[in-house]
Amino acid sequence: MMRLVVLISGTGRNLQAILEAQRLGRLQGRVCAVISNRPDAAGLQFARDAAIPAITLSHRDFPDRDSFDAALSQEIDRHAPDFVVLAGFMRILGSDFVQRYRGRLLNIHPSLLPKYPGLQTHAKALANGEAWHGASVHFVTEAVDGGPVILQGQVRIRPDDTNDSLADRVMREVEQVIYPEVIALACAGRLQMRNDQVIVDGKVLTAPLQLDELRTEH
């Protein structure tokens, strides 16, 4: 069984989906700890409900990014994870941290990367009149929201969409589906990163996997 540490900052709906996949026996792995940089993160409750250590490490208690990152990696390493899963973890991690977990560090981002890195992705997609929006799971490298993409899922933008309606649909129809899928692949030993490229089942991915393709395969 692969060991996972999940990092959150907020509501934890991605964490919730990962724990549900674990509960249903879909992961050859288990979440060993959940760490939040915010003491009030609602998502910590999902960990407590599943009897998983729910740990707070507030970045406010540290003078700078490097000292927070160092304390965070010390806490992570106590749980000896095979993968570190960023699930709405809203802190930029320094390059020492990223190097340390290279190839074992996953993130989900609410856009069809490389479009709309950063914040307010839903508002930007709406403002630009996009027909499609979605989310991406990627390996983390030094480039913020820039590491190689593993799996994406899309939703069609509706004429009456608001920021909230779009964010909600992306969360429920894409994020909560694609993150458990990728983590299942990782836990099955089918997913690696080599030379900043994604390898699935020993083959280099030339383009991100698409949720629709996975659905038709199953």
**Which candidate, 25, 54, 26, places its Cα nearest to that of 40?**
54
| Shortest separation between residue 89's beta carbon and ligand GAR, angstroms | 7
Q: Quick one: which of 4, 6, 7, 13 contacts ligand GAR (CB under 6 A)?
A: 13
| Shortest separation between residue 35's beta carbon and ligand GAR, angstroms | 13
Site membership for ligand GAR, residue 183 (CB under 6 A)? no
Q: In the beta sheet, which residues pair with residue 30?
A: 3
Size of the site for ligand GAR (CB under 6 A): 16
Q: Which of residues 61-90 bind ligand GAR (CB under 6 A)?
A: 87-88
Give the residue at shortest CB distance from ligand GAR.
88
Q: Quick one: which of 54, 76, 106, 108 contacts ligand GAR (CB under 6 A)?
A: 108
| Shortest separation between residue 46's beta carbon and ligand GAR, angstroms | 10
81 vs 153, beta carbon nearer ligand GAR? 153
Cβ neighbours around 159 below 10 Å, total: 4
81 vs 110, beta carbon nearer ligand GAR? 110
Examine the residue annotation and report whether 138 is marked as an active-site residue of this protein: no
Q: Which of residues 29-68 bind ligand GAR (CB under 6 A)?
A: 43
Site membership for ligand GAR, residue 147 (CB under 6 A)? no
Tell me the HSE value of 83 on the side-chain side, using a 13 A CA sphere: 31
DSSP codes, the chain: -EEEEEEESS--HHHHHHHHHHHTT--SEEEEEEEESSTT-TTHHHHHHTT--EEE--GGGSSSHHHHHHHHHHHHHTT--SEEEESS--SPPPHHHHHHTTTSEEEEESSSTTSS-SS-HHHHHHHTT-SEEEEEEEE--SSTT-SPEEEEEEEEPPTT--HHHHHHHIIIIIIHHHHHHHHHHHHTT-EEEETTEEEETTEE-SS-EEHHHHHHH-
Site membership for ligand GAR, residue 14 (CB under 6 A)? yes
130 vs 199, beta carbon nearer ligand GAR? 130
Q: Which of residues 126-145 bind ligand GAR (CB under 6 A)?
A: 135, 145
Catalytically active residues, by annotation: 109
Tell me which residues touch ligand GAR (CB under 6 A): 8, 10-14, 43, 87-88, 108-110, 135, 145, 171, 175
